[in-house]
Amino acid sequence: MDNEKTVRQPKQKRSIQMKEKILSAAMQLICDMGFFETTTNEIAKAAGISIGSLYSYFSDKDTILAELLERHHQHFMSVFEVLSTEMNVQLYSENLHEWLRRLVMKLIDLHLSVKDFNRALSELYYAKPEVAAILDSHEEEIRRAVLELLRENVSRVQADDLEAASVVIVDFINALVDRVVFKSTSIENERILDVGTDMLYTACFHKEN
């Protein structure tokens, strides 16, 4: 998604607002129509600007997608910022099971808030290798954050191989979140969340005294 065109780096409030309008319009169109069916002309029209104005901020559709991907990633990394607050650190120490449940609930809420965009990204993952590479790097950053949590509390982890454990935990949580967000079932989501949290806790951590 590299580009050689010179584009504007907005600093003034009006320019920042213009860029936000472009990104917002692009995200909505990608959710509604899909990335490949969305054109820069349609994005400009939806944003209420000229195509020339759009190209002063983004050289092409791919650079718009690249910025949306980075914002999407930061949206999810905010979970770890929330969980690192003093209150949540205390909860992690005193009631790891409840901490895990809140982590999964927070991720479910975040996925629901951008559900259509997540679905579009799932399709792009297999259609655009550069998107797959970005998403894989984002997941690796999340895995490293989980690994750091495990290393800080190694005495509570059942596995000796913390790196492998971090992969299993991330994959398990992703599967649990995807089940709740994207798939319908006759079983209430609350029951799936409860059992999923119990299984994750029992499989990965020593029971608290």
CATH architecture label of 65-204: Orthogonal Bundle (1.10)
Q: Which pLDDT does position 45 carry in this prediction? A: 97
| Stretch 21-39: mean pLDDT | 97
Instruction: Assess whether pLDDT exceeds 90 at residue 145.
Output: no
* 13-55 homologous superfamily: Homeodomain-like (1.10.10.60)
Instruction: Assess whether pLDDT exceeds 70 at residue 2.
Output: no
| Stretch 141-157: mean pLDDT | 89
Least confident of 1-10, 16-25, 142-151, 154-163: 1-10
107 near 197, Cβ under 8 Å?
no
Instruction: Assess whether pLDDT exceeds 90 at residue 87.
Output: no
Residue 111 structure tokens: 């996925």
Residue 95: helix, strand or coil by DSSP? Answer: coil
Give first-to-last CA distance, the chain, whole Å: 51
Q: Which pLDDT does position 85 carry in this prediction? A: 73
CA distances from 197 to 98, 106, 112, 193 (A): 9, 13, 19, 6
Q: How high does pLDDT run on average in the chain?
A: 89
User: Of 22 and 141, which is predicted with more confidence?
Assistant: 22
Q: Which pLDDT does position 209 carry in this prediction? A: 62
User: Of 80 and 42, which is predicted with more confidence?
Assistant: 42
Q: Which pLDDT does position 133 carry in this prediction? A: 93
Give ranges for CATH 1.10.357.10 in the chain: 65-204
Residue 134 contacts by C-beta under 8 Å, 6 or more apart in sequence?
1, 66, 69
For residue 157, give the DSSP letter.
B
Phi and psi torsions of 149, nearest 5°: -60, -40
Taking the complete model, does pTM exceed 0.75, yes or no?
yes
Instruction: Assess whether pLDDT exceeds 80 at residue 3.
Output: no
Instruction: Assess whether pLDDT exceeds 50 at residue 4.
Output: no
Instruction: Assess whether pLDDT exceeds 60 at residue 161.
Output: yes
Instruction: Assess whether pLDDT exceeds 80 at residue 187.
Output: yes
User: Of 122 and 82, which is predicted with more confidence?
Assistant: 122
